[in-house]
Structure 1
Amino acid sequence: MSAPAGPAPFSARAVLGLLVFGALAFIAALWFMGSGQFDQKGNDGGGHAAGDGLNGYSALAELLEKRGHEVNTIRNAANLDPEGLLILTPPAHADVEEINRIITKHRYTGPTLLILPKWQAVKLPRNPTIKAKDGWVALLGAGSPEWAGEVGGKGLLTATLNNATRSEPGWSGLGLSGRFPQPGAVQTMTSRAVVPLVKDLHLRALAGFWNDGGYYPDLANAAGVEAIENGGQAENLWPVVIVAEPDLLDNYGLADRNRAMLALAIVSATLEDYDLPISFDLTLNGLGAGPNLLALAFSPPFLAATLCFLIAAIVVAWRGMKRFGPPLAALPVFAFGKRQLATNGAALIQRSRRLYLLGAPYSAILRGKVAHLLGIRPGGDPALTESEIDRLLERRGIEPANFSTHAEALRAARTPHDLLRHAHALKTIERKLAR
C-alpha cells in the first residue's frame, strides 16, 4: 500500500550543503587537534621557535621564512627525522641521551644545527602596570648546561661562560663581525672535534661544526680550512653545527642587523648550499603532541577502515537522496478481520497471564460441537450431555471415549501444559466425528 509523497522539508541542495559543511568541519577539527593548533602554550617563555621572549627563536624562524625557506615546527617525536635541516634548541634540563639519539639518527637525512642554552628566564606575569606582550620574559641569569660535556660523547665538548668587556670587538666569523647583546655573559666552547666558524676576541669558538671525517666543503671554506675527502661511509654524513652562544641566533641577538646576517650565514653554511626545508624541534622543550589524527586515519592500518566509512557515508547519503519507489502508507495499529481479532484477544490473555480462564469456555464450545455431531439435543444439562457423549463414543468405538473426563480436567487446568493436553484430546474427538 502506498500514499502520495508529501513535500520534502528540506531541498536536496540544502541537505547536500549541510553534509559537506559537517564533513569539512569534522576533518578540520581532526587536523587542528592532531597538529596542536588548539594548544596555546607554545609561547610560554621558553627558548624555542615558538617563544617570543629574549631567549626564544621565533624571530629566526620568521626571518628564515621571509628569506624563502620552508620552515616547520615539530611537535611529534615520531617526526624528528625530517628531510632537511633540523634545528635543536634544547633547554638546560634536557636529556643529553635523547639529544645524541636525535642527532645520530638525523646524520643520514639532513644537516643538524644544535644551539646550546644559556639564559635562565621566567615568563612575565600578566600585570597591568607592566607593558609586556604575551611570551616576554625576564632574564634571571646565565649558566652553561651540565649536559654540554656529553654532546656527541663524554668529554668531547666543554661549554664555558665568559665575561667580555664593552671595549672588546665581540665576535667575528663568516665575513662578519659585531658585538654581543650582553657582553657580561658570553658562552664559548672548547673541543678538538669542533672546527670554529665564529670566534670571540680570544679566538674561543662561539659556533663551529663537527670534524668527524665527513666531507663538508662549504663549511670548511667558511671556516678557512681545507676540506679533505676521506672516502668511506663518513662521506654520506650530513654536518652537525653547534652554536655555543645562543645570543647569535635568538630573539635577543637578532635585534641587531649584523647578528641577524650572521644567523643567516650560519644557517646557509649548515645547509651546504642545498635548498632544503628547515624544521625547528619543540619536543625537547616539552611541547610535544600526538600524531595528526587526520593523517593517521589515512595511514595503514587505519586506511581500510576509513575507506569503508567513507563508502558507507556515500551510500547513506545517496540512499537519503533517492527513494526506492513510493512511500509506504502507515498500517493501522490493529488489523481488521475475525482472525486478527482472535489473535489480538489471545495475545491480550497471554500477556495478562490468564490462560486458565480459557478452559471452561473452550470445553463448552467443543461439547456443543460434539453433541451436534452425535445428534444430541442441545440446551440440556452439561453433565448429562457429557455422559451421553461418553456413552455414544464408546458405542461407536471412538478413542478417547472419556470426553467428560477431559472436559472436567480442562476446566480445572491451571498451567499451559495441562490446558493444551486436554484441549488437544477434546479437539481430537471432534475431528474424528467430523470425518
Structure 2
Amino acid sequence: MSEAAMSPVGANPFTVRTALMLVLFGCVVFVALLWMIGNGLADGDANNGGAHAEGRGLNGFAALADLVERRGATVRRSRSKAAFDGPGLLVLTPAVHAKARDIEEAIGRHRHLGPTLLVLPKWLAFPVPAQVAAAGKAKPGWVMVAGGQSPEWADELASLGSLDVRIEQRSADDRGWRWNGLGRSGRLPAKAPEQSLSSGAIAALVRDARGQTLAGYLDDGSAPPRLSGRACEAEAPAYPLLVVAEPDLLDNYALADRDRALLALELIARARDGGDEPVTFDLTLAGLERKANLLTLAFTPPFLAATLCLLLAAATTGWRAFLRFGPPLAPSRSIAFGKRALVSNAAALIVRSRRLHLLGGPYAEAARQRLARAFALPRTGDAAAEAAALDRAARAAGRGDHAFSQAAARLGQARSERELVKAAADLHALERTLTR
C-alpha cells in the first residue's frame, strides 16, 4: 500500500462536521419521537367508526367539525379531560356505553366557563367487513348500521333529570321525518329511526311534525336571549347547556343535506351567542381519552424545570464531547526503529529469561572501556591497571579512594532488579563526573 493511501497515525476517520451532523440528526429524530409520543401520534388512527369528531362514518361528526372550521371558527379535537376547563363551546358526543358520572363531570366543570352542547348517540354501528374495504367499496372509517338504541345514561344525569328519550321507526317507504325550528325546516334521512326526548326541563329549539323535541336547551335561566328568545333580566348563573336528541341533525349523515347543514351551523352559532371563542369537540367520552404518561408529565410544571435542567446538562455534555482534552495520543509502534528496536527486544528477552543478574558485569566492563577511551589510557588490555587509573582520577575529582573499583564491584555483585538499577545509576553518575 502506498504512503499516499495511508492515513496519518492518530487521524480521526470522521471530520468534526460529519460527526456534528450525525449527532444533530440523531437529536432531531429523538426529539421528533418524543413529540410523537407526547402528542399521541403513536396511538393509532382515531377514525375508528365511532360517533365523534374524528369519525368519518355516517354516525361521526368529522364533517361538522370541518364545516365549523371552514366557517372561520377555531376548532379543537381534544383527547384530554383538561378541555373541560377551557373556554369556548364544548361539544360532547358520548358513546352509548359512556358512564353518566363522566358526562356529569364534563358538564359540571365546563358550565361556568362556556356553553355546552350534548349530542345523544343513536346508531348501532359496526365496522365495514374487511373484504368490502379491500374491494375498494368503502373508505376508512365507514360503518354499517343495525338500527338504533337510546343510551341508558340519558335518564341518569342529575343536571338534566330524566330526558325520557325514545326511538321510533317508520315504514320502509318513508321519506324521512320532518323537522322545523330556528326558522328552518326539512327532513331527516330517509328510512332512519327518529330519536326524540320529552322533558319539561328542556325547552325545544327543533321539533318534529308531532311536536316532539329533537333539540333544545336546559331552561334554567342560563340561555342568552338569542337562544331563548326572551330578554335577559339578570346575569345568568352559568352558560347555556344544549341537548340534541336526534344526532342526524348534526352528524355526517345529516350534513349530506343542505337544510340540515344550515341548521347545524345555526345551532352552533346560537350556542356560541355570537362569540369568537374556540369550539372544542371532546373525544374522551367516546373512548379516545389519552392518559397522561411520564413524557407529558416531564413537560408539565413543576417537572418542567427539572426537564430543562437535564436538557441543558445534556447539551453541555454534547458540546464538551467535541472539545479535545489535549493532543491526540498516537499509538506506539509494535516494533521500534533501528537501535531502539534492538535494545527493546534484547531487554524484553532478558526480562523473560530472568537473567538480570548477568547484566552487571558487562555493564561495568563497558563503562570501564568508555572511560579508558575518554582518558586516552594505553591499550594494554590490563583491566586492573585501567581500574587503578580510573580510581586515581575519581580521587582527584573528590569522589574518594577506589570509587570506580567499588562501584563496578557493587554492580557485578547485584542480583535483584532494584540493586542492579541502583548500582548502575551510581556508576553512570561517576562516569558523568569523570568525563565532565
Looking at structure 1, the residues matched to 43 and 29 of structure 2 have their Cα atoms a distance apart, in angstroms, of 18
Contact 1:34 / 1:289 at 8 angstroms: preserved in 2? no
Residue 214 of structure 1 contacts residue 229 of structure 1 at CA under 8 Å; is this kept in 2?
A: no
**Equivalent of 2:146, from 137, 140, 145?**
140
| Matching residue within 16, 21, 26 for 1:22 | 26
SS in 2 for 1:178: strand
The answer to whether residue 104 in structure 2 is matched with residue 100 in structure 1 is yes
Secondary structure at the counterpart of residue 188 of structure 1: strand
- Given the alignment of the two structures, is residue 284 of structure 1 paired with residue 285 of structure 2, yes or no? yes
Partner of 2:127: 123
Distance in 1 (CA, whole Å) between partners of 2:140 and 2:223 is 44
Contact 2:128-2:144 at 8 Å conserved across structures: yes
Size of the aligned set, in residue pairs, is 335
Cα 1:5–1:108 change in 2 (3 A) is farther
Q: Which amino acid aligns with 2:76?
A: N
- The match for 2:425 is none
Residue identity matched to 2:198: T
Whether the 8 Å CA contact 1:35–1:291 is kept in 2: the answer is: no
Match of 2:254 in 1: 253
- Output the aligned Cα RMSD: 3.3
- Tell me which residue corresponds to 1:171: 179
1:40 and 2:49 correspond? no
Work out whether residues 30 and 292 of structure 1, in 8 Å CA contact, stay in contact via their aligned partners in 2: no
Closer/same/farther in 2, CA of residues 97 and 179 from structure 1, 3 Å limit: same
Structure 2: gaps of 5 or more residues: 1-7, 335-339, 341-346, 353-436
Instruction: Compare relative contact order (CA 8 Å, sep 6+) and give the higher one, 1 or 2.
Output: 1
Aligned partners of 2:240 and 2:327: how far apart in 1?
73
Alpha-carbon shift at residue 7 of structure 1 (Å): 4.2
The TM-score with structure 2 as length reference comes to 0.69
Alignment-mate amino acid for residue 264 of structure 2: A
Helix, strand or coil: the match of 1:139? strand
CA distance in 1, matches of 2:302, 2:115: 32
- Call closer, same or farther: CA 1:46–1:108 in 2, change over 3 Å: same
Equivalence for 1:189 = 197
Report SS of the residue matched to 1:171.
strand
- From the superposition, tell whether residues 322 and 5 of structure 1 become closer, same or farther in structure 2 (CA, over 3 Å): farther
Quick one: which amino acid aligns to residue 262 of structure 2?
Answer: M
| Higher mean C-alpha displacement, 99-108 vs 165-174 | 165-174
Tell me how far 1:34 sits from its aligned partner.
2.4
User: Residues of 2 paired with 1:156 and 1:324: CA distance?
Assistant: 77
Task: Give, in whole Å, the separation in 1 of the partners of 2:136 and 2:25.
Answer: 44
Q: Is 1:83 paired with 2:87?
A: yes
2:319 pairs with 1:318: yes
Q: How far did residue 123 of structure 1 move?
A: 0.9
Name the residue aligned to 2:392.
none
Partner Cα separation in structure 2 for residue 332 and residue 237 of structure 1 = 85
Q: How far apart, in 2, do the equivalents of 1:216 and 1:192 lie?
A: 19
Identity %, equivalent residues: 47
Write the distance in 2 (CA, Å) between the matches of 1:74 and 1:42.
11
* Contact residue 54 and residue 252 of structure 1 kept, 8 A: yes
**Cα separation, 1, equivalents of 2:209 and 2:315:** 70
Which residue of structure 2 aligns with residue 161 of structure 1?
167
Deviations 1:197-255 (A, max 9, x none): 1111122211111112225122123xxxx133344xxx251111110000000111111
Query: Measured at CA, do residues 5 and 240 of structure 1 come closer, stay the same or move farther in structure 2, by a change above 3 Å?
Result: farther
Deviations 1:86-116 (A, max 9, x none): 1111111110111011101111122111100
**What residue in structure 2 maps to residue 297 of structure 1?**
298
Measured after TM superposition, the shift of residue 328 of structure 1 is 4.2
- CA–CA distance in structure 1, aligned partners of residues 36 and 135 of structure 2: 35
The SS at the match of 2:286 is coil
Residue 67 of structure 1, aligned match among 43, 50, 71: 71
Report if aligned partners of 2:177, 2:189 keep a CA contact under 8 Å in 1: no
* Counterpart code for 1:29: L
Alpha carbons 1:74, 1:281 under 8 Å: kept: yes
Distance in 1 between residues matched to 2:323 and 2:202, nearest whole Å: 72
Q: Distance in 2 between matches of 1:129 and 1:135?
A: 15
The answer (yes or no) to whether the contact 1:89–1:114 under 8 Å persists in 2 is yes
Corresponding residue SS for 1:87 = strand
Contact 1:164 1:170 in 2 (8 A): no
Q: Which amino acid aligns with 1:291?
A: A
Q: Shift in Å at residue 323 of structure 1?
A: 2.0
CA distance in structure 2 between the aligned counterparts of 1:25 and 1:130, rounded to whole angstroms: 35
* 1:164 CA drift (Å): 5.7
CA contact (8 A) 1:5 1:326 kept: no
After superposing the two structures, state which structure 1 stretch, 240-249 or 279-288, moved more.
279-288
Q: Secondary structure of the equivalent of 2:195?
A: strand
- Does the aligned pair in 2 maintain the 1:170–1:179 contact within 8 Å? yes
Which whole-Å CA distance do the structure 2 matches of 1:168 and 1:102 have between them? 33
Q: What amino acid sits opposite 2:199 in the alignment?
A: S
Cα distance change, pair 110–293 in 1 and its aligned pair in 2 (3 A): farther
- How far 1:322 moved relative to its partner? 2.3
Contact 2:176/2:188 (8 A) holds in 1: no
Residues 127 and 141 in structure 2, CA contact (< 8 A), matched pair in contact too: yes
Whether the 8 Å contact between 1:161 and 1:188 is mirrored in structure 2 is yes
